[in-house]
Structure 1
Amino acid sequence: MTISIAQKLPRQSALLMSALLGGMIVSSCAAAPKNLANQSLPPGVSENQAAISADAAANVTANPEAASVPRNRPQLIKKAAMTLVVDSVDKSIDAVTKIISKQQGDLINLNENQPTSSNSRHTASIQLRIPQNLLEPTIEELAKLGTVENRNITAEDVGSQLVDFQARLNNLRRTEANLQKIMDRAGSVRDILTVSKELSNVRQTIEQIDAQLKSLQNQVAYSTITLNLEATISSNSPQRAVGSQVYETWNNSTQSLSNFTVGLLKLGIWLIVYSPYMLIVAAGFYGLRRWRLNHLSRLNQSSESVNSQ
């Protein structure tokens, strides 16, 4: 039986595709650590994804220098907090703005609270971000604005996280390149769709890890300072002038007289309103008193007549 050339080409393309995928999976699994081969696949992970992960592990094993990123110094995320007591919060805010501009930093947040009473303080909270190498000089400049109540600096080493993210990016980019080669050689639509799906997942993971890596690098490059400003309150209040005291006394006395007059007017209005009831009560007391007087008079007359007889 003879086979035409049109029938041979699809079979050769399918055989080539199968050979490439099989060779990639076999080589990746052979280079991966043995403990990875013994683990079961997590739910929702396909065999192709497992093969890609094994290929990434093989790249790390075959190229150990790719998994390490040289570090000249510790990769630290530094944060500082400081509380200052200043003579004027408004002037201090202007001075802080100038310091931020001088140190090539950014003002992230400003929250100012005006005093609501004579005993409350004028306060402000400022959050700024500056280059890490200028953190100590900036703190020294800010300390000159007033009296330092408290100051602290914290540092977190994220060097291992940066190394891990960079290594994962390198491995994923190699996997992306291998998948791209397989996709270029794929013949059937089904094979192209399968490889395209895996390639999309790898690229999405690359974008996520790259964003996390850049965020960490930005936090390392720039330090955050939280500055709290508090206005001073003088313990010795200045003596007020005599004229001011006399004026205040006059106002208080006139206010007291006004309140007393208003109170008398209110009392008069109450008496007028309840006057009918008061008249009835007064009439009752008057009638009772007259009756008692008349009764006593009669008793006295009776006793006098008896004595005369």
Structure 2
Amino acid sequence: MDTKKVKNSAHFVLKNRLLWLSLLGLLSTGALTSCGSGIEKPMQTNMPGAPAGGTAQQAAENMAAVPQADTAVGATETPRTLPQLIKKGSLNVVVNSIDKSLKEVSSLVAKQQGDLMGLQDNKPKDPSVRRKATIQIRVPQNKLETTLDQLAKLGNVQNKSITAEDVSQQLVDIDARVRNLRKSEEMTLKIMDRSGSVGDILKVSQQLNTIRSDIERLDAQQKTLRNQVAFSSIALTLEAAVSATPESQPSVGIRMQETWGKATHSVGEFTQALLALMLWLLAFSPYFVLAGAVFYGVKKWKKNKSLPPASRPDAGYDP
């Protein structure tokens, strides 16, 4: 009987302990839930772009999504390459002195690290015609506008223009073709190594020469385009402000000297021609003598023929 009571009392105590543990668990869970809700609210309020009434997990997901969006935007913004342009300039300037302007142009082009590619200076003989000089200039592309502005200060600008041609696509196409040809060259070399007969080797060698010729041609074309992109050309025309003045004409003394020189030269030429004529006459003198004798005989015969018979020189002669 006592043993049964002890068992019942032990069972009661154990049941009470489980009940208290359950109550304590419920209380602790509620406390943690209230604390968690209190922590989540300030996180939601401080979170930029967090939806109202969201949870901390949603806020964390939003935070994780922000750098991904920035990365996506950065990936789409690829660096933009500059266009490959061939620029050409043209300038027509009226100046007071072409000789002085030519010296200034040469000095200016040297300062801009350019080159004078050609010069054509037309000096008219007619004083009423204006003098013109055409110059071909090459300068680095980044100094084209600066050079044109400096050249415009030489005088009064009559015409100024800049043209540009985009060759970016041409350069890209040439690069792609060169790469493909080089791959074909490598494959052809491998085929040549594997070829056994002489005929096959000759065919592959001919194909290899064709490929290399195309590569060299494309390389030269590419270098030409890149050179034209790197350096711009300027066609400069200088025109005199007024026609030639009397100061530019030779003086009276110089004119007299020129006239005397021309006269003496003409006398010398005339003397040489006269001597040459005398030599010709001397060489043909026998023919002239013969022709004169014939002419004289014919003339005398005709004269005797026209006289009366009594007055003829042979009238008293009776055969």
- What is the letter of the counterpart of residue 82 of structure 2? R
Q: Deviations over 1:249-306 (max 9, x none)?
A: xxxxxxxxxxxxxxxxxxxxxxxxxxxxxxxxxxxxxxxxxxxxxxxxxxxxxxxxxx
2-side partners of 1:183 and 1:230: how far apart? 64
1:198 maps to amino acid? Q
**What is the rounded CA distance, in whole Å, between the counterparts of 1:205 and 1:98 in structure 2?**
42
Distance 1:210 1:176, change over 3 A: same
Amino acid in the other structure paired with 1:111: Q
1:125 matched to which residue of 2?
Answer: 134
Give the equivalent residue in structure 2 for 1:210: 219
- Give, in angstroms, the shift of residue 185 of structure 1: 2.1
Residue segments in structure 1 that go unaligned for 5+ positions in a row = 1-69, 238-309
Structure 1 stretches of 4+ moved >3 Å: none
**Under a length normalisation based on structure 1, what TM-score does the superposition of the two structures give?**
0.52
Distance 1:159 1:71, change over 3 A: farther
1:185 aligns with 2:202: no
**Residues in 2 aligned to 1:207 and 1:88: alpha-carbon distance in whole angstroms:** 48
Quick one: distance in 1 between partners of 2:170 and 2:214? 16
User: Is 1:221 aligned to 2:230, yes or no?
Assistant: yes
Aligned mate of 1:231, from 224, 240, 260? 240
Q: 1:117 Cα deviation (Å)? A: 2.5
Read off the aligned partner of 2:89 and give its amino acid letter: A
Distance 1:165 1:79 in 2: 23
Letter in 2 for 1:86: V
TM-score by length of 2: 0.50
Following the alignment from structure 1 to structure 2, what is the Cα–Cα distance between the partners of residues 143 and 169? 43
The letter of the residue matching 2:146 is P
1:167 and 2:189 correspond: no
Q: CA, structure 1 residues 210+155, in 2 after alignment: closer, same or farther (shift >3 Å)?
A: same
Which residue of the partner structure matches residue 87 of structure 2? Answer: 78
Aligned length: 168
SS in structure 2 at match of 1:194: helix
- State the distance in 2 between where 1:118 and 1:187 align: 80
| SS class of match (1:206) | helix
Alignment of 1:245-260 (within 5 A): none
Give the Cα separation in 1 of the matches to 2:80 and 2:137: 27
Aligned to 1:150: 159
Secondary structure of 1:218 counterpart = helix
Amino acid at match of 2:231: Y
Q: 1:112, 1:103 → 2: CA distance? A: 23
Distance 1:180 1:71 in 2: 38
Distance 2:213 2:80 in 1: 27
Which amino acid is the alignment partner of residue 218 of structure 1? N
